Amino acid sequence: MNRFFGWGARLGAVFNENKGGPWGSGGGSGSGGDGGGPRNPWGQPPRKRRPAGTSGNVTSLDDFLKKSRERFGGGRFPTGDGKPYWLYGLGIFLILWLLFTSIHRIGPEERGVITRFGNYAGTMGPGIGLTFPAPIDSVQKVDVEEIRTIDIGSTDASSENLILTGDQNIIDLAYSVRWNIKEPQLYLFQIANPEETIREVAESAMRAVVAGVSLDDAIGSGRSDIEQRVAQVMQQLLDDYRAGIDVQGVAIKQSDPPAAVNDAFKEVSAAQQQAQSYLNDARSYALQLTAKAQGEAAAFDKVYEEYRLAPEVTQRRMYYETMEKVLSRVDKTIIEAPGVTPYLPLPEIQRRTQQGTSQ
Amino acid sequence: MIQRLGRNPIALAFIAIALLIVVGSTFAIVPETKQAVVVRFGEPQRIINRFKPEQEFGQTGAGLAARIPFVEQIVWIDKRILSVEMDQQQVLSTDQLRLQVDAFARYRIVDPLRMYIAAGTEQRVSDALRPILGSALRNELGKRPFAALLSPERGQMMDNIQQALNRVARQYGAEIVDVRIKRADLPDGTPLESAYERMRTARQQEARSILAQGLKQAQIIRAEADAEAASTYAEAFGKDPEFYDFYRAMQSYETTFVNNGSGEAMGRSSIILSPSNEYLQEFTGGE
């Protein structure tokens, strides 16, 4: 008992404020009393010591401990009713610890990956899950529903993400990849940097696919086909890595010729418009002509039907009607001398008519 | 003794701390993502949680591992798939075209012991693999024409590079999972410009051919319409050519002398008739 307490006191000395500075006399608590001396580097007078506690050589920590011991029941750990407060504290702490580290609430979009001493021990579904407490089991929550997006290239005019097509042309492509986590344990344990991996795989897959199509397909009709094939290639690669990732889809946001050659591409669409307008003109001409022909033919048919009923009369009627119309509007001169070709002062006639009308 | 100990919390705390230190340095938690090489005074003793292909998580060696405290140390080595990325490089194809290539390789450390001896850290493995990836790529691409890069042959090429890289990787206890070209671009400057020029001229050619095609189509449409109109006329008028002649003459007189249907001003007409004209037959008393 004594031996033990002696050790305790020596230990206690470590916690004591070292009377007389760091290089002061080490034997403060052991021998008691003297404390500072001439060896003190700063020559602090020993008077500066704190006032001693209950007994001359007991330090403040000793003092405190002793007092607490007394408060907790005379230095004994009592059994039964009078348990010391810190035991209660420890108990409560342990209970809270158990509660917080062994009960896990997993949200509906999450999965909890349990590792027991680091070893994968299963995946918890949504709801409340129980595990062993903290140092044994640990749970990592992973959101498996969230669709994450990675953008590659941008639709800004300032930056270009140039890709070679199969016919050795160049396009400026911007696209995004949507993915989510399929198997959380694979996602956590299999690949060092999943996001970066997906980005690289996407870029590589996109370039491989675009390298197999022509420029016209890449900027036009082939887009959705490219999207599908890239998603397929990516899924294949990620499955090969066992990355636990599901590629939901690839969306091409922009697929244009590079800015440097854009004018030439605009020329093509201008030519297409121009050609279209040529065709439209021709078609409208054709429509007009056909309609006119049909109309005239129909009119002739009607008159002809009439004519057939009474050819002689109809012909004469038409002749006179037309002549009437024609001759009533024009100047007429009738020359009565047969066999003579007279000199006709035509300008004279005109002048006369003009005078006639003016009068 | 326990009771004695109980009376001195400081002693208790010290013993507890000492115990914790001993326990902590005896047991180690090996996570699924790491392989552990246990080293005794620098000499590797054993490997915990070594990578085995086709092994499910949960069946691996991960978990609690014991070692002799203070004597054995654990060196952690990543078990996951790691990536080494090559800096962009210019590659010359057999047809003397320059290409800017950017590739990456994925590898995994399958022999932690070799890796520990040969490299020490994952970073050094990456550093060792990077230049070899570059040179393997240059060699392989230099054997092929530019077009091969853009063809399905590319797969074969990648396999060759992977093999070459794997030979080196094995010395570091690593295994190449995959080598892929990330980007293969024409370098800035003349090659890019000439590619652009080619694209431009190709487009101009296309534009011209579209215009010419449009003109051609338009002409065909017009001619077809003309032909159709002619056939419509022929069908109708062919029934009685004589009457048509008369009918059309009447129309023509009206148009010529009275109005031409367009509403435009027309020249004044003067007509000189002989009394023997058919129209004036009755006028002269039906001679």
Whether the pLDDT of residue A125 is over 60: the answer is: yes
Which residues of chain A have a CB within 8 Å of the CB of B215?
275, 278
Higher model confidence: residue A263 or residue B287?
A: A263
The beta-carbon neighbor of B8 closest among A4, A170, A329 is A4
Higher model confidence: residue A339 or residue B31?
A: B31
Which residues of chain B have a CB within 8 Å of the CB of A74?
none
The beta-carbon neighbor of B232 closest among A211, A293, A336 is A293
pLDDT of amino acid A43: 47
Amino acid at B114: R
Average pLDDT for A169-191: 89
Higher model confidence: residue A71 or residue A132?
A: A132
Lowest mean pLDDT of A38-52, A147-161, A168-182, name the range. A38-52
Pairing outcome for strands B34-40 and B43-48: antiparallel
Instruction: Judge whether B49 and B36 are in contact, CB under 8 Å.
Output: yes
- What are A64-105's pLDDT values in tens digits? 666 655 555 544 544 455 567 888 899 999 899 888 888 888
Contacts of B233 (CB under 8 A, 6+ apart): A293, A296, A297
Tokens of A77: 């750990």
Which residues of chain A have a CB within 8 Å of the CB of B150?
164-166, 168, 211-212
pLDDT of amino acid A169: 85
Band of pLDDT at residue A155, cut at 50, 70 and 90: confident
- What are B44-74's pLDDT values in tens digits? 888 888 887 777 777 777 778 888 878 888 8
At A224, give phi and psi (nearest 5°). Answer: -65, -30
- Burial (0-12, 13-18, 19+ Cβ within 10 Å), B195: buried
Share of chain A above pLDDT 90, in %: 17
Pairing outcome for strands A331-334 and B43-48: unpaired
Band of pLDDT at residue A12, cut at 50, 70 and 90: very low
The beta-carbon neighbor of A204 closest among B180, B224, B225 is B180
Whether the pLDDT of residue A46 is over 60: the answer is: no
pLDDT of amino acid B231: 92
The residue among A114, A188, A189, A233 with the most chain B CBs within 10 A of its CB, best to mutate, is A189
Which residues of chain B have a CB within 8 Å of the CB of A322?
250, 253-254
Which residues of chain B have a CB within 8 Å of the CB of A349?
270
CB contact under 8 A, B104 and A204: yes
Closest approach of B40 to chain A, Cα-based (Å): 23
The beta-carbon neighbor of B210 closest among A118, A188, A271 is A271
The residue among A115, A167, A199 with the most chain B CBs within 10 A of its CB, best to mutate, is A115
- Chain A residue with minimum CA distance to B81: A191
pLDDT of amino acid A83: 64
pLDDT of amino acid A262: 84
pLDDT of amino acid A114: 86
Band of pLDDT at residue A23, cut at 50, 70 and 90: very low
pLDDT of amino acid A69: 59
Whether the pLDDT of residue A44 is over 70: the answer is: no
pLDDT of amino acid B219: 94
Higher model confidence: residue A203 or residue A58?
A: A203
Closest approach of B203 to chain A, Cα-based (Å): 6
pLDDT of amino acid A9: 43
Whether the pLDDT of residue A141 is over 70: the answer is: yes
pLDDT of amino acid B121: 84
Lowest mean pLDDT of A3-7, A168-172, B50-54, name the range. A3-7
The radius of gyration computed from the CA coordinates of chain A, to the nearest angstrom, equals: 54
Positions in chain B whose pLDDT score sits under 50: 287
Which residues of chain B have a CB within 8 Å of the CB of A215?
199
Higher model confidence: residue A212 or residue B283?
A: A212
Lowest mean pLDDT of A111-120, A200-209, A323-332, A343-352, name the range. A343-352
CB contact under 8 A, B222 and A286: yes
Q: How many CA atoms lie within 13 A of A115 on its CB side?
A: 23
pLDDT of amino acid A342: 52
- Chain B residue with minimum CA distance to A265: B203
At A282, give phi and psi (nearest 5°). Answer: -60, -40
Confidence (pTM) = 0.66
Distance separating alpha carbons of residues B9 and A8, to the nearest angstrom = 9
The beta-carbon neighbor of B32 closest among A189, A325, A336 is A189
The residue with tokens 């129209």 is B279
Contacts of A302 (CB under 8 A, 6+ apart): none
